[in-house]
A and B are shown apart, each in its own frame.
Chain A
Amino acid sequence: MTETTTTGTPATPGTPAATRPVGVDIQESETNRAVVEAIEADNPDCAVQHMPGLVRITSPGRLVVNRVTVEDRLGREWETHEFQMAIVSYFGHIQEWDDDEIVIAWDH
Chain B
Amino acid sequence: MTIAPKAPRKLSMKQRYQALTRDLDWEPSYVSREEMFPYLEFEGIKIHDWSKWEDPFRLTVDAYCKYQAEKDKRLYAVLDGFAQGQGHLSLTDANYLNAMKIFLQGIAPNEYNAHRNFAYLARHLGGPGPRFAALCQSIDEMRHTQTEVHTLSNYNKYYSGFHNFSQQHDRVWYLSVPKSFFEDALSAGPFEFLIAIGFSFEYLLTNLLFVPFMSGASFNGDLPTMTFGFSAQSDESRHMTLGLEAIKFLLEQDEANVPIVQAWIDKWFWRGYRVTGLVAQMLDYMLPRKVMSWKEAFELYFEQQMMQGLFQDLAFYGITPPRHVEDAIGEKDVLSHQVYWILYQFSHAASFTTSVPNDEHLEWLSKTYPDTFDTYYKPLWDKEKRNIEAGGRHFVRGLPQLCQVCQIPMGFTEPGDPTTICQRESEYNGEKFQTCSNGCQWIFEREPEKYVQAWLPVHQIYQGNCGGPTLPDVLEWYGLQDGDNGEYVGSVDERNWKKWHAETDVNEPEGSDATTNTTA
Contact = CB atoms under 8 A, between A and B. Distances in A.
A108 B315 contact: yes
Interface string B202-226: 0000110011001100110000001
Interface in A31-53: 51-53
Interface string A47-88: 000011110000000000000000000000000111011111
A53 to B, nearest CB: 4
B56 interface: yes
A25 B218 CA distance: 15
B134 interface: no
Question: How would you classify the secondary structure of chain B's contact residues: helix, strand, loop or mixed?
Answer: helix
Contacts of A10: 303-304, 308
A84 B313 contact: no
A7 B236 contact: no
Interface residues of B, number: 47
Contacts of A52: 215, 218-219, 291
Contact of B215 (A7, A11, A53): A53
A108 B312 contact: yes
B234 A88 contact: yes
B261 to A, nearest CB: 16
Interface stretch (B157-165, B176-184, B237-245, B365-373): B237-245
A95 to B, nearest CB: 7
Contact of A94 (B211, B241, B296): B241
Contacts of B81: none
Contact of A97 (B58, B234, B303): B58
B233 interface: yes
A52 B308 CA distance: 25
A84 B67 contact: yes
Most B CB atoms within 10 A — which of A12, A88, A92, A95?
A: A88
Nearest to B71: A85
Interface of B: 12-14, 56-59, 63, 66-67, 70-71, 206-207, 210-211, 214-215, 218-219, 226, 230, 233-234, 236-238, 240-241, 244, 248, 291, 296, 299-300, 303-306, 308-310, 312-316
